[in-house]
Amino acid sequence: MKTIALIPAYNEESRIAASVRDARSFVDGVVVVDDCSVDRTGEVARAAGAIVLRHVINRGQGAALQTATEYALDALNADALVHFDADGQMVAREIPMMLEPILSGEADVVLGSRFLGRATNMPFTRRMANRLARLFTLAISGIALTDTHNGFRALSRKAARELTVTLDRMAHASQILDLVKVRRLRYVERPVTITYSEETLAKSPSSFRAFGIVKDILKDKFFTRI
């Protein structure tokens, strides 16, 4: 089974090398999508051993994951994919545990959960935002999870084909869950560790972006499909 890690990255030159190197120990290849970073993210990722694709404009994390998915399936012929972050908040040692249900055929999609695992230094406001997101996801998509916005996932080839992400920015996480339900894919949650440092918190500063995410989801769900 060929396993590929997909890493969307935007202005991560100081953190991407370690993320790529760590992930490479646990998969057969790493695809980084440098989303028109203004720093040296792409060059650093390539030097660390990743295949680097670059968007000519900044399109967002969802779009970057979709670009990486298509490349991994079509050009690399991947059997299983892992979504991983560029910024060091995730633990690469947990990749085999995330892939295991896919490789054994137990599930089509594995969703990381920091609430089954460990969320180190997670601010109170983010915990509360995540609670609301759980309720929101249950109401909108009918899927009950302990952590609805965790970017650490593993997918089978079949699931990756069916989960086409069209929401370019952060709402892709909700769209993936919606599609898991609609396509009746078999999913499991697994405990993962997410670490919050001052650096990563400064980079994506506010829980307010949740409002933008909710707007994108509602628009997609109730308006664009009419």
Sequence-ordered alpha helix ranges (H) in 124-208: 124-141, 157-162, 172-182, 198-203
Q: Which does 64 bind (CB under 5 to 8 A by kind): ligand GDP, Mg ion, none?
A: ligand GDP
Interface with Mg ion, residue 19, by CB under 5 A: no
Smallest separation (angstroms) from Mg ion to the CB of 139: 26
Interface with ligand GDP, residue 120, by CB under 6 A: no
Interface with ligand GDP, residue 207, by CB under 6 A: no
Interface with Mg ion, residue 12, by CB under 5 A: no
Interface with Mg ion, residue 87, by CB under 5 A: yes
Q: Which stretch binds Mg ion (CB under 5 A): 50-58, 110-118, 161-169, 200-208?
A: 200-208
Q: Which stretch binds Mg ion (CB under 5 A): 33-41, 49-57, 89-97, 214-222?
A: 89-97
Of 39-78, binders to ligand GDP (CB under 6 A) are 58, 60-61, 64
Q: Which does 10 bind (CB under 5 to 8 A by kind): ligand GDP, Mg ion, none?
A: ligand GDP
Interface with Mg ion, residue 61, by CB under 5 A: no
CA 127 to chain centre: 18
Secondary element (H or E) of residue 95: helix 95-103
Cα–Cα distance measured from residue 131 to residue 112, given in angstroms and rounded to the nearest whole number? 16
* Identity of the residue, 79 or 89, whose beta carbon is nearer to ligand GDP in the bound complex: 89
* Identity of the residue, 89 or 156, whose beta carbon is nearer to Mg ion in the bound complex: 89
* Residue 11 DSSP SS3: coil
DSSP β-bridge partners for residue 110 = 154, 188
What sign does the CA torsion over 203, 65, 208, 91 have?
negative
Interface with Mg ion, residue 150, by CB under 5 A: no
Measuring CA to CA, which residue among 89, 5, 3, 12 is closest to residue 49? 5
Q: What angle do CA 196, 149, 97 make, to 5 degrees?
A: 80
* Identity of the residue, 79 or 92, whose beta carbon is nearer to ligand GDP in the bound complex: 92
CA quadruple 213, 80, 18, 13: dihedral, nearest 10 = -50
Q: What would you measure as the largest C-alpha separation in the chain, in angstroms?
A: 46
Residues near ligand GDP (CB under 6 A) are: 8-10, 12, 33, 35, 58, 60-61, 64, 85-87, 89, 151, 200, 203-204
